[in-house]
Every structure is written in C-alpha cells, then in structure tokens.
Amino acid sequence: MSDKDINGHIGYVHSLESFALVDGPGVRFAVFLSGCKMRCKFCHNPETWKDSGEKWTAQDLYNHIKRYKRYWKNNGGITVSGGEPLLQTEFVTELFGYAKKENVHTALDTSGQPFISEGEYLIKFKALAEVTDLFILDLKMMDSRGHKELTGFDNANILQMAVWLSEHGKRMWIRHVLVPGLTDDENDLIAMNKFIRGLKTVDRVEVLPYHTLGVPKWEMLGIKYPLNGVPVPTDEQVKKAEEILCSTLSP
C-alpha cells in the first residue's frame, strides 16, 4: 500500500506512541499503521481499517523516532503495529533498515493475513525479515472455518508464515485474544498449543483477555458491534487458557 518518491517509501500512519510498554521487550516507540483487510469481530481499533492516515517517509519517521532513543536503554526499541503492517511491507523494511544501521531492536506486531509463501511477495517479506528482530504474531484460532467466521479470512497462510519464520530462525512471540464462546474452545486451544510447540523460535506465549474498550469506536464509526453481550473472560477462564496454551511440554 505504501507509495514511493525520491525520498524513499511513504507510509500511512494512524498514530504514534513514544513510550509503549506492552508492544515488545522493554520500552518501545510504537508506530501504528493504517489499513487492514481483516474484520475481526473483537477488533478494538476499527478506525485503523481504512487505507488512509498521515503520510510519512520512512527516513523522516525514523528521524522522528530516534529522538526518543534515550528511553529505550538496553532492551527497548521500535515496534510497528497496525492496522496490519504487512500491507506496507516495503515502507516497514526501509524504516527498520535505518534502525538496524544504528543497532536498534525492531519488532513487528502482525496478524499475518497478507502473507504469501511464494513469488514477489515472499521476496519482499524476506527483505523485511532480514531487518526484523522479533515477530509478534496474533493467532486467533486454529479451526479454519471458525477463523473465517471470526475475521473474514481463513488462517492457512497465517500458519504458513509462522512455520516460515520458525524455519528461518526468526524469533517470535505468540499472542491469543481470549473471547468467551469464540476463541476459548478447549480443543482449539490444545491444537494451537501443539502447533506452537512444533515451532522452534517461539520465546513467549501470551493470553490477552478480551475487553470492550473498543466498542465506542465502532459506534462512532456507525458500525454495528457484532459481540454485544459477550462478557469479558473471568480470571479463572484466562488461567485455564494459559495452562493449556502456554504449556512447554515437548511435541
């Protein structure tokens, strides 16, 4: 989706956060890009769906970001999220390239939906992977039909991306949003655990409790919220999911 001019690739940015604490290791500068094709029923940032936003060149954005480098100390860095950052692969690659020249840690927070395991897309993805230290991958569900009902897309290429990252030695964190009645099926969590344990480069698995903080955004955009009445998970439900999903037993 990104354009290019004489100054490099142009990206469409939804928002910036200079002191992010939950978007990767340490203190991060988080960039939230615009654009996402998935329509997750529990999305808390529906305003990032559209392919619009403030335009930045990768060079100008990095020059802005590095002003905050003193906050990162030894274990922080830059995280690009969305929206879906893989829709602006070339822009992110250029941005991360500037970061790696200065030994800044880079992380990509993605749902993986645009991934294609062949052709021109894979060539661009490989270039991105070269300058990305950590992939934070959101796995929503293992069941393909359920995944399509939940997001509008099946998950075959997302799982392929996870395997590709594992086979190419790229570090991963896996995140799973726990939605009662939708993404908490015990058999599906067991299948997800088995899949994750088959990956060789996963450093962390997190269960994120579903919340309703994004509901006002749906209402502001005039979009009917599809999960009205769905409760947030209890502490017991979260603990049970963590016991299943975060098990480190060998495959």
Domain boundaries, the chain: 3-245
At 177-218, the pLDDT tens digits run: 999 999 999 999 999 999 999 999 999 999 999 998 889 999
Lowest mean pLDDT among 43-47, 111-115, 160-164: 43-47
Q: Distance (Å, rounded) from C-alpha 55 to C-alpha 53?
A: 6
Tokens of 144: 């393909």
Average pLDDT over residues 221-230: 93
Kindly tell me if the per-residue pLDDT of 250 is higher than 60.
no
pLDDT digits (tens, 9 = 90+) for 147-168: 999 999 999 999 999 999 999 9
Considering the chain, what is the average pLDDT of its residues? 93
pLDDT at 251: 44
Angstrom distance (rounded) from CA 74 to CA 67: 16
Whole-angstrom distance, CA of residue 17 vs CA of residue 171: 23
Torsion sign over Cα 127, 129, 133, 134: positive
CA distance 54 to 246: 38
Going from the C-alpha of 102 to that of each of 77, 99, 123, 212, 239, the distances in angstroms are 11, 5, 24, 39, 40
Distance CA 34, CA 58 (A): 15
What is the mean predicted confidence (pLDDT) over 91-120? 96
Q: Is the dihedral of CA 24, 236, 245, 87 positive or negative?
A: negative
The CATH number assigned to the domain with range 3-245 reads 3.20.20.70
- Is residue 77 classed as helix, strand or coil in its secondary structure? strand
Q: Distance (Å, rounded) from C-alpha 210 to C-alpha 146?
A: 17
